[in-house]
Amino acid sequence: MNILFVCTGNTCRSSMAEGIFKYLLEKSNIEDISVSSAGISVFEGEASNKKAIDALIKKGIDIRDHKARQLTKNIVEESDLILTMTESHKAMILNAVAGCSDRVYTLKEFACIINGENAKGRNLDIADPFGLDYNSYERSAEEIKEQLNKIIKNINAVSMYEQRKNNR
C-alpha cells in the first residue's frame, strides 16, 4: 500500500507526517506500507523547515534528508491513500484529478473513520505552523502524531479498506 501525505509546500506538515508515520510503522514492525509526501505549491528539492526538523529530532525522528516534491497527477494516481493536511488541499486534489475521490481524505477525517468516530462537524485541518514560532511546529507535530497513532492502532482496518477498494 502506498500512502501519500499532502500539504502546501511539503516542508512542514506533510514532511513531518511522512517522518512520524515511517517511525511509527517501524516501531510497530509493520511492513508493506510505503510512505511519501508531496506539496500543492512546492519549491522542488527544498529541505524541510528547520523548526520542523528540530521538533521531530526531539522525538527521535530524523527528516533532515527530506526534499520537497511537487504533487503531480502521476503521484496521485500511484497512491492508494492520500491524506491531506487541510480540507482545501483535499478539494484541490479532487478538482484536479478525476477518479480519486475514494482515496483522498484529510488526515483527521481518515483517522476518525478508521477509528470509528464521526468526523462531521469537526475541524479537519492540521494548523499550518509555517512562519510561526518553534512551539507551533511542536504543536503541529503532536497533532499529526495523535492522528497517526489512531491509524496505527487500527492498521488492520486500513488494510481492509485497501482490500475493499481494490475489489471494486
Phi, psi for 70 (deg, rounded to 5): -75, 130
Q: Give the residue from 104, 45, 105, 39 showing the smallest Cα distance to 77.
A: 104
140: three-class secondary structure by DSSP: helix
Determine which one of 54, 80, 100, 128 is catalytic: 128
Determine which one of 7, 12, 69, 103 is catalytic: 7
Residue 128 falls in the annotated catalytic set: yes
The three three-digit cell numbers of residue 105, written as one number = 481524505
Residue 133 falls in the annotated catalytic set: no
Determine the Cα–Cα distance for residues 97 and 115; give it in Å rounded to an integer. Answer: 27
Sheet of strand 104-106, all strands in order from the earlier edge strand to the far edge? 34-39, 2-7, 81-84, 104-106
Residue recorded with cell 527544498: 46
Determine which one of 13, 69, 103, 112 is catalytic: 13
> Residue 32: which H helix or E strand, with range?
none
Catalytically active residues are: 7, 13, 128
